[in-house]
Every structure is written in C-alpha cells, then in structure tokens.
Amino acid sequence: MPVTIKDVAREAGVSISTVSRVITGDSRISQPTREKVRAAMARLGYHPNAIARSLVRQRSNTIALVMSRAPRLAMAIPFYPEIIGGISEYATAEHYHLMLVSSESREEECVQTLQLLRHRRVDGVIHLATRIKDPLIDTMRREGHPFVVIGRVPGVEVPSVNNDNVAAAEMAVTHLLDGGYTSVAYVGGSPDLVVTWDRREGYCRALTGRGIPVREDWIICRESTAEAGYEAGIELLSSPDRPQAIFAMDDTLAAGVLKSARKLGISVPQELGLVGFNDDPFSSLIEPALTTVRIPIFEMGREAARMLIGLIGGSSPSQNVVVPAELVVRQSSRRRTPPAG
Amino acid sequence: MPVTIKDVAREAGVSISTVSRVITGDSRISQPTREKVRAAMARLGYHPNAIARSLVRQRSNTIALVMSRAPRLAMAIPFYPEIIGGISEYATAEHYHLMLVSSESREEECVQTLQLLRHRRVDGVIHLATRIKDPLIDTMRREGHPFVVIGRVPGVEVPSVNNDNVAAAEMAVTHLLDGGYTSVAYVGGSPDLVVTWDRREGYCRALTGRGIPVREDWIICRESTAEAGYEAGIELLSSPDRPQAIFAMDDTLAAGVLKSARKLGISVPQELGLVGFNDDPFSSLIEPALTTVRIPIFEMGREAARMLIGLIGGSSPSQNVVVPAELVVRQSSRRRTPPAG
DNA sequence: TATGTTTATGCAAACGTTTGAATAAACTTC
DNA sequence: GAAGTTTATTCAAACGTTTGCATAAACATA
C-alpha cells in the first residue's frame, strides 16, 4: 500500500485539497504551508498517482503511435525508428508519454488502436504510413478522436505531415534520365500504401515529361524488404531487354536491387543506374554508395507530435505540413564516363 | 461526455454492479440478464474506461521499455526494433500495452522511468542493454518494482535474458584465428555497456587460449555507430604494423570498419578478416557479405516480456534465461585461398 | 466598529470502475 | 412447511486524485 495524498495531508496537518494544490502548483497556497507539505511529501516518499489524476482530469497524457506494419518489418526500415525519435523528443518535452501499437495484422492493429482511444488510455494517435483505404482513419474521424497522419489520406482533409513524394520521385527519376540512363524502371513497396502510388506517379511524370512511354512491366510493387527488392531486380534485369536504371521506392528496396545486379553480374553504376529514397544510415556504406532522396524524417516526427498535442489541447482542427526533399547524389547513379549525348 | 457504466445500467434496467460483472465475465450473471446488458451496451455504444478500471484494480496493464540510448542512435541499430517486435508480440497477446521511454540523456531516462513506475502508469519495465553501473537498476531493485533486463547486471542477481557473450565472442575470434588470420583487433561499443566488456573478455580468451598476447592498443571501444567503426578502422589499419583481422562488437561497427578498409585500399577478406555481431538485415547485403554472430533477438524480446508479465502477476522472483548464439560464416572472414599453414 | 476585499484553506462532490458483503428469490431436503 | 442451500442481483465502500464553492481569517476602508 503506497503512500497517498491522504497520508501526506495527515502528516502535514492540512487538508487533502491543500496537498493537491501544492502538487499542481496552485498559486493560492502560502509559502509556509507549501514548504510544510513539501517536507511531508519528502518524509513519506510520496508520489502522486497518475491514474487517479487521469481519471478526474479526463486526460491520460499519453499518445499512441501506430506503425501500419508488422513490428519486425516496420522497425527494420530505419525510417520508423528515426521518426519515433522525433515524436519522442517533442512528446517528452511536453510531458506526454508514448504508447506503441504494433501488430502482425491490420485488423488487429485497427482494433487495438480504437480500443486505446475508446478506453481513454490515450488522448490521440499518430498514424505512420497511410494506406489507400484505411478503416482506422475513417473510424477515428467519425468518432472524433484527435489524430495526425504522417503521409497523406487521398480524398479527405486530415491533419498531416508529409513531403511532396510526387515531386521528389520526379526529381530522382529526372536525375537518372539526365545522367544518360534512357530507360528507368520503378520498384515500389506495398501497393496499398499511399506513398507507393505517389512515388510511382512522380516516376511516371518524369518519363512522360521526356516523352518516354511508361511500361507497365517495368513497374513492380510488392513489399518494402530487401528480399522483395532482390526479386524485383532479378525479374527486371534478367531479360536482355532490360532497363538501364531503376528507381526504388526506398533504400531497403534499392539494397535488394543492388544485390540482384551483383548476382547477375551487372555493374552499378556503369550498366545500371540506381536511386533509392530515405537516405538510410547504411546507404552511404554499401558499395557503390547509394544515390537517394533525403527527407527530414526526425523533424517530421517532431512536427507530427506538435500537431497532435495541439489538437488534443483543442487547437484549430486541420492543417497540413509539407517538408522539403533533397537529392543526395552518390556513386550508384554516376557513370564514370559521362554519356556521349 | 462519453457513455458510462451508469448509462448502460439505466438502459438495461439493472444495477451498475451487474453491468460490471457482465464486462468482467463473472459467471454468476444469468444468461437473459447478460444478453439484456450486452444489448444495452451495443445500443449505447459503450466502451469501458480503462483508467477507472486501473484505479480500482491497481494495475495499468502497461509495461515500459527503456532503451538505454538516445532514440535516434538506439533505433538505428536493428537490434532494437527487432527486440521490440518480440516484446510487442507477447505483450499484446497478454493484453498488455507498451510504453516507450527514450531520452537523450541517461539522467532524463532514469527519471522518466522511475516516474512511470512510481506514478503507477506502468506495472513493470524491460531494460534493454544494461550498463556497468546503472542507478536505475539499483533504484528499481530497492523500491521493489518488477523489471527484467536484456543483458546482464554484474554482481547482482536480477531476472534477465541474455546470450553468453563471452563464449560467442570467443567463438567468433577463434574462427578468425582458425582461418589463418594470426592477429586480431577488437572494436567495441560504448565502454559503459556490459556487453562491450563481455565480448572483449571473449576476445581476450580466444587470444590467450592460443598463446597470443593481448595488445591494448588493438582494443578500441567508443560508440556503436558506423562512424565510430570507421574511425577505429582508420586508426587500427593505418599503421604498417596492423592486425590481420578485426572483430567488431556489432554489425554496425563492422560496416564502419569495412568502409575504412575500403578507404585505405585494404581488401576484405584477402588482407583483412572481419567478423561482426547480430546478423543485422543489411549484413548479407554489403560487399563482401559480413561474417557475424546470430542470436535470436526476436525471441529474446518475447522471453523478456513473458518473464516480466509473470513477475507482475507475482510469480517467483528471479530467473535467468540464456539463449544460444550461432556463427554465420560469410565472405568477410574467408580468404579465397586457404592459408598455407 | 461595521463593511468590504483579499488571501488561504477546507468541504465534499465528482471521475468511472470493481468487489466483498448483504439480500432476496428460488429451489432442495427431510 | 420450516430450515437450509443455491443462484442472481443489488448496495455501498473503495481506488486516489482534482476542483467549484464555502468559509474563515486577516487586512484595508470608511
């Protein structure tokens, strides 16, 4: 039986309310009383019970992160840890706690998240990596729970932080075309993620902008794993009629593609140009170092946390933050001899 | 104002207790009443308030993970996400929730974790990556909070899950010596982590077992980052009197060492043998593929969660689980021509 | 001295559950 | 048909806080 506010009140010879007011920092308490209560708390080793406080305040001071992917898959992509770091930093500073929702199946994840919200265990949700059609988002909107997405929800206005994936992908593919690679394929992640389609759209725009027709058989979208990237690479590169370059939706996929090229004896960047996305930590370490698109992932997390906590506090409903993207040119997209023309 | 148990009771024409007993699945409630209450709950869209339940049950059904590292550093090491996946899986199945503690400074982290426990926001803690002298562990022991460490606390008996790092490191270094590399250096992570010293110990044993003296200048322990690995590699390999092989404490460090070798024009595995630890996902992708030690990280997480939840439930106090380690031999430790003798 | 104002504290009602003990009704048993 | 047993339900006291309102004391004002 831990010591409660009642014990402190008795010890200090004041009422419970007074102790409570000392805890919450109410200015009406006189200095002597304040000190008396503080001393009693210290003597007894008192720590206020956050659960009881939550009950009366109707606020848990906790937010949930939903990852939209199985934990072992999600966290293996450095994007997630990085974004969590950003969220964590801001939330901690604002005295919020972080709950991690992660589940193998989407249905499970959806159920768990809604439970957390409905049971009032968390005050709001940050949703990482939005899907094309996500019942969780619909339900949260309908029930009026505060939430922020990292990404974009097609068709509806929801508070979000995102980068312009279409423009960034277009920039990446244009870079390949400028580098003398005349044909480019696209390897994407899961087709039910919005980001897969946005980057695909940018890829298509870059091609059609140059009058190059889009070949459907050069677009492969499966999962964001190195294995999927490897298999996509094998499929694309085995044919004699193969693309000169590949734009992969993220660095993990690009690493898989790289492996497939090595396996097939195709040299990068001489015979194949390759560009990834995210600038994962390992991207500068692999051989050849990977050209990639860098976005301020940590800052995106921080911004999402800021928006969510604002929302919980009752601030204006919907806003959207767009962060910049930057091309990081390394070896994988740079032929040693510039193209003849 | 969300609907409460009181509303349901009124709607169903029964007492609050009866509704509560339906929720908790008390067998004494008759079938007709049970159905009547269920119907009322459905009609009203009722969801029980977990905070109120926690208050009376004196249990939050939440556990905390403390990472012992700054989030952006920690999570960048694939070990962490993987272990979190294992914890998450088991905890979810047992209806426990996961809180993530992560902070830039250790003091902050310690304070935050203790607050979580003292304020009764969480029922217990899983502590990842133990340090040589950790005030948090001491305090949790003293105050009697349930916790499990992943790693080992020197000198005291605490519930833990760990692999035998000394033996595993000895195995890795012996493998290098067996492969004909006659001298080996050690690159470790942060010197205040227990694991850094355990693997160092295994390294020393392998050497002295072969009658090879340990050279202090061939032991470099800084941080577990690719950058630190790179710098250590440069230091070790720049001298003409350089080791023939390097055992790195983890794959991230090994990747950095590899980069330094490439920079200095030293070929791996011909002129330098290299072994890492953890079998991170990228380790089979880099060139040459990295020889490494694989431990069942996901399962370690799951086991830690099982132990902690048992402890919270009041099971026997202290036990230790040791998981096996396995050497995964790839290119980085294999000279093309076997050594002459 | 009576009156109004400020300042510091206490009272008691929430917040939304769970649960031991009491009660009432329905069955047994002899 | 009285006494004992089982079954289904309700009562009311927790759990540990916060906070609007009331109160009392101290001070200023007239």
pLDDT in tens, B307-335: 999 999 988 766 899 999 999 999 999 98
Least confident stretch, A93-107, A185-199, B64-78: B64-78
pLDDT at position B338 over 60? no
pLDDT at B164 over 80: yes
Tell me which residue in B100, B108, B258 faces A98 most closely, judged by beta carbons. B100
Using a 7 Å cut-off to protein CB atoms, list the covered nucleotides of chain C.
7-12, 14-20
How much helix, strand and coil, in percent to the nearest 5, is found in chain A?
50, 15, 40
Does the pLDDT value for residue B75 go beyond 70?
Answer: no
Element (H, E) at A292: strand A292-294
Task: Identify the DSSP state of A92.
Answer: H
Of A72 and B269, which is predicted with more confidence?
B269
Longest dimension (CA), chain B: 90
B4-28 pLDDT tens trace: 999 999 999 999 999 999 999 888 8
**φ, ψ dihedrals at A65, nearest 5°:** -110, 125
What is chain B's length?
Answer: 341
Query: Contact, B62 vs B123, CB < 8 A?
Result: yes
- pLDDT tens by residue, A253-283: 999 999 999 999 999 999 999 999 999 877 8
| pLDDT for A78 beyond 80 | no
Decide: helix, strand or coil at residue A213: coil
Taking only Cα atoms into account, the Rg of chain B, rounded to an integer number of angstroms, comes to 26
Tell whether the model's pLDDT for residue B51 goes beyond 50.
Answer: yes
Total Cβ atoms within 10 A of residue B320: 14
Mind listing the domains of chain A with CATH numbers? 5-48 (1.10.260.40), 62-163+297-324 (3.40.50.2300), 165-294+328-333 (3.40.50.2300)
Q: Is B205 exposed, middle or buried (0-12, 13-18, 19+ CB in 10 A)?
A: middle
CB B150 within 8 A of CB B126: yes
- CA–C1' A313–C4 (A): 39
* Ramachandran angles phi, psi of B157, nearest 5°: -90, 110
Q: What b-and-e string marks burial along A186-215, b requiring 16 or more CB atoms within 10 Å of the CB?
A: bbbbbeebbbbbbbbebbbbbbeeeeeeee
Residue in the structure block whose two tokens are 């590169």: A237
Three-state DSSP class for residue B48: coil
For Cα atoms B173, B174, B175, give the angle at the middle one, nearest 5 degrees: 90
Interface check for A287 against chain B (CB to CB < 8 A): the answer is yes
Choose from A75, A253, A299 for mutation: most chain B CBs within 10 A: A75
Q: At A276, list the tokens.
A: 């990834």
Q: In this complex, do A74 and B81 lie within 8 Å of one another by their Cβ atoms?
A: yes
Q: Tell me phi and psi for residue B244, to 5 degrees.
A: -85, -20
Tell me the nearest-neighbour CA distance from B336 into chain A, angstroms.
Answer: 18
Residue to mutate among A72, A116, A260, with most B CBs inside 10 A, is A72
Task: Give the separation between CA B110 and CA B126, rounded to whole angstroms.
Answer: 13
CB-CB under 8 Å, B98 with A262: no
What average pLDDT does the segment A94-111 reach? 90
DSSP state of B134: -
Could you tell me if A246 and A185 are in contact, meaning their C-beta atoms sit under 8 angstroms apart?
yes
d(CA B182, CA B210): 10
Task: Compute the distance between CA of residue A122 and CA of residue B155 in angstroms, rounded to an integer.
Answer: 39
Strand duo A326-328 + B62-66: pairing: unpaired
CA distances, B303 to each of A103, B27, B195, B314, B320 (Å): 17, 33, 19, 17, 10
Q: Do A80 and B81 touch (CB under 8 A)?
A: yes
Across residues A52-59, what is the average pLDDT?
96
Q: What is the CA radius of gyration of chain A?
A: 26
* pLDDT tens sequence across B82-118: 888 899 999 999 999 999 998 778 898 999 999 999 9
In chain B, what percentage of residues exceed pLDDT 90?
Answer: 78
3-state secondary structure of B70: coil
pLDDT attached to residue A70: 64
> Contact A119/B47, CB-based, under 8 Å?
yes
State which H helix or E strand residue A326 sits in.
Answer: strand A326-328
Show which of residues 189-208 on chain A sit within 8 Å of chain B, judged by CB atoms: none
A85 touches chain B (CB under 8 A): yes
Can you name the residues that pair with A64 across neighbouring β-strands?
Answer: A99, A125
Question: A49: alpha, beta or left, given left = phi > 0 and alpha = psi -120 to 50?
Answer: beta
Angle at B66 between CA A311 and CA A66, to 5 degrees: 40
Q: What is the pLDDT, as a whole number, of residue B73?
A: 64
Nearest CA distance, A211 vs chain B (angstrom): 35
> Which nt is closest to the CA of A16, judged by C1'?
C10
Are the Cβ atoms of B50 and A287 closer than 8 angstroms? Answer: no
Q: What is the pLDDT of residue B253?
A: 95
Closest CA-bearing residue to C1' of D9:
B18
| pLDDT above 70: residue B212 | yes
Checking if the pLDDT of A285 tops 90, the result is no
Amino acid whose CA is nearest the C1' of D19: A17
B9 touches strand C (CB under 7 A): no
**Distance (Å, rounded) from C-alpha A159 to C-alpha A178?**
36
Percent of chain A predicted with pLDDT > 90: 79
Q: How far is CA B311 from CA A304, B125, B141, B303, B319, in A?
A: 36, 10, 13, 12, 10
Are B71 and A92 in contact (CB < 8 Å)? no
Q: Does B85 touch chain A (CB under 8 A)?
A: yes
Is the model's pLDDT at A339 over the cut of 60?
Answer: no
Whether B70 sits with its Cβ under 7 A from any strand C atom: the answer reads no
Helix, strand or coil, per DSSP, at residue B251: helix
In sequence order, what E strands does chain B have? Answer: 62-66, 97-101, 124-128, 147-150, 160-163, 184-188, 219-221, 245-248, 273-275, 292-294, 320-323, 326-328
Least-confidence region, from A227-236, A280-289, B84-93, B267-276: A280-289
pLDDT confidence of residue B337: 55
Out of B51, B80, B281, name the one closest to residue A51 (CB): B51
B28–A contact, CB cutoff 8 A: no
B6 touches strand C (CB under 7 A): yes
Question: Can you give the pLDDT at residue A341?
Answer: 39
CB contact under 8 A, B120 and A50: yes
- Strand D nucleotides within 7 Å of a protein CB: 7-12, 14-20
Average of per-residue pLDDT across A288-316: 93
pLDDT of residue A127: 95
Could you tell me the pLDDT band of residue A73, with boundaries at 50, 70 and 90? low
Q: Are A70 and A76 in contact (CB under 8 A)?
A: no
Contact assignment for A108 to B119 by CB distance below 8 Å: no
As a rounded value in angstroms, the CA-to-C1' distance for B174 and D15 is 59
The answer on pLDDT for A340 being more than 60 is: no
Q: How far is CA A235 from the centre of its chain?
A: 30
In chain A, which residue's Cα lies nearest the Cα of B63?
A99
Residue B168: burial class (beta carbons within 10 Å; 0-12, 13-18, 19+): buried
Nearest to A151 by CA among A124, A130, A126: A130
Instruction: Pick from B23, B47, B51 the residue to mutate for testing the A interface (most A CBs within 10 Å).
Output: B51
3-state secondary structure of A5: helix
Partner-chain contact B75 A74, CB within 8 Å: no
Could you give the strand order of the β-sheet that contains A320-323, starting from the edge strand earlier in sequence?
A320-323, A160-163, A147-150, A124-128, A62-66, A97-101, B97-101, B62-66, B124-128, B147-150, B160-163, B320-323
How close A157 comes to chain B (CA, Å)?
A: 25
Longest CA–CA separation in chain A, Å:
90
Q: What is the dihedral of CA A176, A177, A181, A186, to 10 degrees?
A: 60
In the complex, which nucleotide's C1' lies nearest to the CA atom of residue B32? D8
CB neighbours of B102 closer than 8 A, spacing ≥ 6? A84, A85, A88, A92, A98, B66, B67, B69, B70, B71, B74, B109
Taking the C-alpha atoms of residue A282 and residue A255, their distance in angstroms, rounded to an integer, is: 9
Residue A244 scores a pLDDT above 70: yes
pLDDT mean over A64-83:
75
Q: Does A133 touch chain B (CB under 8 A)?
A: no
Nearest to B82 among A60, A72, A255 (CB): A72
Q: Do B281 and A62 touch (CB under 8 A)?
A: no
Distance, CA of A223 to CA of A118 (rounded, Å): 32
